Amino acid sequence: MALKGKMVIGQSGGPTAVINQSLVGAVLAARGQENITGILGAHHGIAGIMKEDFIDLTTQSVDDLETLAATPAAGLGSVRLKPGKAECERVFEVFKKNDVRYFFYIGGNDSAETAHIIAEMAKEANYDFCTIHIPKTIDNDLRVTDHCPGYASAAKFVALAFMGDDRDNAALAGIKINVVMGRDAGFLTAASALARQDEGDGPHLIYVPERTFDVAQFQSDVKAAMAKYGRCVVAVSEGITNADGQPVMTSGERDSHGNLQLSGSGALGDFLSGKVKEAYAGETVRVRADTFGYLQRSFPSIVSEVDAREARMVGKHAVEHAVATAEPGSVAIRRLSSSPYASECFITPLSTVAREATELKDEYINEAGNDVTQAWVDYAAPLVGDLPKMGKLF
């Protein structure tokens, strides 16, 4: 069945370095489709749709779109809103009113859930309509897909940051703690392991939210690394939790989803610095903590080539699939080979991606819970791509 009508495309959740590649991939694919009679960009996602606040995406030059594709963050504006039934009804009403027949929502599992609810509403109302979720998240925590567009570029930033910071730490020895984004999944923190090129390179310890964080064990791990290397670089996820399941340290504030604010605060890093100083009470030791913060997801020019290509690909695939089949779904990526790296798109039902997220597999975390495994490196390295060689004299 071929649908004819307008399309709406929106972006949701945290920005990434390549989310605009997906937008531009979808828009350029749509411009060639005669069944798509208008291309409306939702200004700030669902929030914009409810207000009928659209940006016409038929008028920009290809050059301008290519500049946008290479720009981080979310060109249409994003939103942190998990819409309830009333909001979804309003969205559906706007779609019907404007003869919108296609809806593409670029985001994570919450966005897939929104797409799913709206797809179900259309079905119930017998409104001919196709909703496609286009995956995006630096957290890499969507189910089904091998990995998520947006992740590899953020992972490249993290790997580069640790490569440089490890050299910095080698030049002025001490203990350095770097807090990496990741509330429930340690994919981004685990990418710090890609910084290692030679024996003794940091990070020397990696803590992910998939394992309970024990302060005493951490203190003892740091002391052991210091004894072995004379210095210590630590990667830690912002979302690490105590044995009771509570975040180790937050700013105390909650976001609009009711989640405790983890990013945009140096609280965890400063807390862990304090714990290390405690462990070295009386001794002089240089302890510093950095929280990478929002730089990880929106730094211009730090982009994985694989990520940029795949982000473009999922946007294009979404439109082509929708026009060809009118079947709702979520675009996912299948890895065909790691060396040389190759992948392809496929469609998975919205229900398989919506709502629940995934996390690091057990085989990617070492037994002590303070590092990753070679299996992890084999998984992540092809996504991030080549990294510069660090020169060393000692």
Establish whether 181 is an annotated binding residue. Answer: yes
Choosing from 97, 126, 199, 301, the residue that interacts with a second copy (CB under 8 A) is: 301
34 vs 386 by CB, closer to a second copy: 386
Q: In this chain, which stretch among 7-15, 82-90, 207-215, 359-367 interacts with a second copy, using CB under 8 A? A: 7-15
CA distances in angstroms from 163 to 24, 160, 204, 375, 393, listed in the order given: 32, 5, 12, 20, 15
Choosing from 8, 188, 206, 289, the residue that interacts with a second copy (CB under 8 A) is: 289
DSSP 306: H
CA dihedral (148, 153, 158, 161) in degrees, to 10, reads 180
Asked if 139 is an active-site residue, the reply is: yes
Based on the shown chain and the rule CB under 8 A, indicate whether residue 186 belongs to the binding site for a second copy. no
Choosing from 72, 107, 150, 329, the residue that interacts with a second copy (CB under 8 A) is: 72
φ/ψ of 8, rounded to 5, equals: -115, 135
The dihedral through the CA atoms of 340, 346, 349, 353 has a sign that is: positive
Q: Of 141, 147, 179, which is closest to residue 14 (Cα–Cα)?
A: 141
Based on the shown chain and the rule CB under 8 A, indicate whether residue 108 belongs to the binding site for a second copy. no
Is residue 111 within a helix (H) or strand (E), and if so which, with residue range? helix 109-124
Beta carbons within 8 Å of 362's beta carbon, 6+ residues apart: none
Of residues 201-260, those binding a second copy (CB under 8 A): 251
Of residues 362-391, those binding a second copy (CB under 8 A): 387-391
Q: For the chain, what is the total number of helices (H) and then of strands (E)?
A: 12, 11
165 vs 221 by CB, closer to a second copy: 165
Establish whether 117 is an annotated binding residue. Answer: no
Choosing from 76, 191, 206, 225, the residue that interacts with a second copy (CB under 8 A) is: 76
Based on the shown chain and the rule CB under 8 A, indicate whether residue 109 belongs to the binding site for a second copy. no
Of residues 158-177, those binding a second copy (CB under 8 A): 160-161, 163-165, 167-168, 170-172, 176
Q: Which residues are catalytic?
A: 139
